[in-house]
A and B are shown apart, each in its own frame.
Chain A
């Protein structure tokens, strides 16, 4: 026993226990997989818990802004301030809101009849409203003196005006009605008038990236593209039913989404209007308004079926659906510029604030909280396709009228599919061709 070496595990408790009660606990880690057995089932259970908790915490409704004496017809976001919102109502009243305290800061009657549309100028110091009384009025965003209560500028249009949108940088704005008209802030007459043989247009929107491009929805079921440098319209695409609203993707300049009467939304690529890039289904009644998130990955749609749905721009089905008992037909929706909230205006005089991600925790997250949430997110992603996880994540409670309508639509779709299949089976091969869903709803593309 001359040379011998014996070593035994002998831990000094001081290395493993905290020195004082105010100290944090010492937690040595060892990532050796043999110390963490049953990794896969444990992760599965955690994923299940995470997805359940997500549904538990899904309380998207934050609050409502009440004050309008008639249904809300349109709302406009301030381009640089998150807390400011302008809304117009069916009785011609415009209200400005402070979202942080949920109070109305200013209200005045702007038009006789509806306020059809509102839009802020890019600087945010003024905003423009159009109404049923054929006037286009520009207002100061902030009131310092009693004179500021009056409109800065009032333009009289020859025909009814239903929509307004402002150029991103130039002092130009476009209105629509009988025709699409381009105005300059200083002139009383439109600079340009675009005509393409339609009786009326009801929505117009400037592209915020490709700034000279604008598009409008017409009541002859078409969506028309214009370039404000050209003298005539560029192109149009005619669909089966008319489109109610249009929103450009703020990140991909060539993509826009239209909200259609046939319960669907269609995402188009400007370069190829013959076929939409994607069809977004889920609503059970006409879709009234649509607005993109500032990331361009998602958009929100408000519908006549009294629900708000959130879609991912690359997916066909909605990610989430928001509804309350008291919310009636939606008239306008907006996604705030901090990508956190959704604002919806509806028939019953209220503007509602929602969280964009239903189960997100508002406020500052502690680092440990954030890592835990990140871990939960990656687990949810990893096990997303497991039947139980998928079922829980997908399940949404919807009001009975929606559920019934969904079932009805499903029956109708199944029936037409079956009928087509039968027709195909009993006719000459090739006589009943397979038409992709994306081509069915487009009538033609004109140039």
Chain B
């Protein structure tokens, strides 16, 4: 307990009123004696106090703090979303480097915080679908949705009845344009928002797959024999005969690579900016028509008939990784946008979710009514599953088990493929006779980044973005499982360098043998080989000796034998240490 009464500090001018306390030893009147022993510690603390007192403003307590409590606190999960990983921490010993690192990490955390705070500036809200507790979201049909949303949104529900057989559909990267290609050769591209047709042709051949290239002015179509490229008026630009009989195609936008797999299992990566094939080899998996790309690291995921999913990059001719997902042939694969989860489905009517970063899992294992035709993740991680004539959309099915779908849409025609439209709450389904567009509330990312992909861009902006993207084209060699490999320290080569440096000072440069070599006539091939072998052996032995020397050097110096003169022979021999 403190004293309840606070004593006023004594001042020199008070001393006249108050009688100084008489102590036994104090002889000189009116002079107070403080017996303080000055120690270095005391000096230091006093100095520190003075310093702080001098520099600091008076403490701001009470009113001012209540008025403004600093910046609003940030939710930890928001910070986590913008995190670039944990810092190095206390791994650095040297104080200078540690200080530099601290400074840099402060900047990084500041950037992270600012990015998280900038979320307040996002203008659009994401879509949602909420119903009473006693009713189900699956009961809500597209008609109900169309009745309850505004006209412009309702116009996103439409259906195209086309007659040229099963259609495949793909959206462009900014989600504004749609490309349709049919088995019977019908190829059409249009702006699906304004429904403005770019071109519509029949190539008079079967089309197996289609893909947008880096802008909406160019498309690629894998036809019966070769790969063709068309511009936005339907003019044929290229016929790429290096790529034949293609089954599936994926375009990697940041690498400008058109990746394809053909009927015989040959995989090809075509750099469309320079027209060069950067990778071409056989995957030895046989015919595989199940392919998708992992947008997180731009690897290709191939699913084969044995249930194995393998990941491929253009420069390495073996799979980067393999996972046995099902015991039956695979029907579809999908990878989510952040590269966290992979969904696979087999003929055995099961669907599994995998943690693709750790190649771990399955995280979830679902059993479906029939084998899915196609799988697709949306930008907000909803999973669309195509079951013959029904599309089911699951929400939150990766990290937790969901019992029932979020939405269900039944069509009177079989599904061929489907894609979620980027930056829209729309799922486009290519069917056996046409194309159907349905609304899935909450599936798309509401706020686009205009410098990344802009649905509202005009011609000039598109040209500008094309140039920028070409400048930032990532070389094909950088496709690895972990895209952050490039920022990590190359440890083994650093070790090699250090060792090379250490050796350099001691080693003599090898003596060159300048004597002319006479042809060894008469000696047989075998004899010559023997000589070569002998020389190699000698060299090896010498090297081994050197290494031995290096290893033994410190020991030999340390142990000096004590000499007993004549009696040396009685000293027991020490066994060599291991």
Binding site for B on A (CB under 8 A): 1-11, 13, 15-17, 25-42, 44-46, 49, 386, 417-418, 421-422, 425, 429
Contacts and interface: CB of A to CB of B under 8 A. Distances in A.
Given A26-B450, A30-B449, A32-B81, A7 B125 contact: yes
Contact of B254 (A6, A37, A425): A37
B444 interface: yes
Contacts of A37: 254, 295-296, 337, 339, 483
B447 A30 contact: yes
A8 B425 contact: yes
Contacts of B156: 8
A38 B153 contact: no
Interface of B: 81-82, 115, 118-119, 121-132, 135, 139-140, 144-145, 148-150, 152-153, 156, 254, 295-298, 337-339, 379, 423-425, 439, 441-442, 444-452, 454-456, 461, 471-475, 478, 483-487, 505-506, 508-509, 557
Contact of A1 (B135, B339, B474): B135
Contacts of A28: 122-123, 447-450
Nearest to A11: B124
Name the 4 nearest CB pairs between A and B, nearest first.
A27-B450, A421-B505, A10-B153, A5-B130
Contacts of B447: 28, 30, 32
Given A6-B129, A9-B446, A45 B475 contact: yes
Given A29-B121, A33-B81, 10 more contacts: A1-B135, A4-B130, A28-B450, A32-B81, A32-B82, A35-B445, A35-B449, A37-B254, A37-B483, A49-B471
Contacts of A46: 471-472
B144 to A, nearest CB: 7
Contacts of B254: 37-38, 41-42
Given A32-B81, A34-B338, A10 B149 contact: yes
A17 B139 CA distance: 37
A7 B131 CA distance: 12
Nearest to A421: B505
A33 B506 contact: no
A17 B457 CA distance: 8
19 contacts: A5-B130, A6-B130, A6-B140, A8-B153, A9-B153, A9-B444, A10-B150, A10-B153, A11-B455, A28-B122, A31-B449, A32-B445, A33-B82, A38-B298, A38-B483, A40-B485, A41-B474, A41-B478, A418-B509
Contacts of B295: 37
A45 B81 contact: no
A9 B298 contact: no
A42 B132 CA distance: 46
A2 B506 CA distance: 88
Contact of A2 (B132, B471, B474): B132
B456 A9 contact: no
B337 A34 contact: yes
A32 B152 CA distance: 27
A1 B444 CA distance: 25
Contact of A35 (B425, B452, B483): B452
B449 A7 contact: no
A27 B132 contact: no
Contacts of B153: 8-10
B128 A422 contact: no
Contact of B145 (A8, A31, A39, A425): A8
B124 A9 contact: yes
A36 to B, nearest CB: 6
Contacts of A30: 122, 445, 447-449
B126 A9 contact: yes
Nearest to B478: A41
A9 B150 CA distance: 10
Contacts of A45: 471-475
A35 to B, nearest CB: 5
A25 to B, nearest CB: 6
Contacts of B485: 40
Contacts, number: 157
Contacts of A429: 557
Contacts of B456: 13, 16-17
B149 A6 contact: yes
A6 B441 contact: yes
A206 to B, nearest CB: 33
B355 to A, nearest CB: 16
B441 A29 contact: no
A36 B145 contact: no
B139 to A, nearest CB: 8
Nearest to B381: A34
B427 to A, nearest CB: 12
B337 A7 contact: no
Nearest to B447: A30
A11 B297 CA distance: 30
Contact of B115 (A3, A31, A422): A31
Contacts of B118: 29, 31
Contacts of A29: 118, 121, 449-451
A417 B505 contact: yes
Nearest to B380: A34
B68 to A, nearest CB: 26
Given A9-B126, A9-B444, A44 B486 contact: yes
Given A7-B128, A9-B425, A30-B122, A36 B452 contact: yes
Contacts of A31: 82, 115, 118-119, 449
Nearest to B139: A1
Contacts of A49: 471-472
B389 to A, nearest CB: 24
A329 B441 CA distance: 76
Nearest to B450: A27
Nearest to A10: B153
A434 B436 CA distance: 80
Contacts of B423: 9
Contacts of B483: 37-41
Given A17-B456, A28-B447, A28-B450, A7 B296 contact: no
A9 B475 CA distance: 36
A2 B135 CA distance: 10
A7 B127 contact: yes
A28 B423 CA distance: 13
A269 to B, nearest CB: 18
Nearest to A31: B115
Contacts of A33: 81-82
A239 B440 CA distance: 81
Nearest to B135: A1
A29 B450 CA distance: 6
A417 B478 CA distance: 40
B471 to A, nearest CB: 6
A23 to B, nearest CB: 12
Contacts of B452: 35-36
B460 to A, nearest CB: 9
Nearest to B121: A29
Most B-side CB within 10 Å, residue of A31, A35, A425: A31
A16 B446 CA distance: 13
A391 to B, nearest CB: 15
A3 B296 contact: no
Contacts of A38: 254, 296-298, 474, 483
Interface centre among A17, A35, A41 (most CB of B within 10 A): A41
Contacts of A32: 81-82, 445, 447, 449
A40 B487 contact: yes
A45 B474 CA distance: 6
Contacts of A10: 149-150, 152-153
Contact of B441 (A8, A13, A17): A8
B416 to A, nearest CB: 25
Given A9-B124, A9-B424, A36 B449 contact: yes
A125 to B, nearest CB: 42
A42 B472 contact: yes
A33 B505 CA distance: 48
Contact of A3 (B124, B132, B145): B132
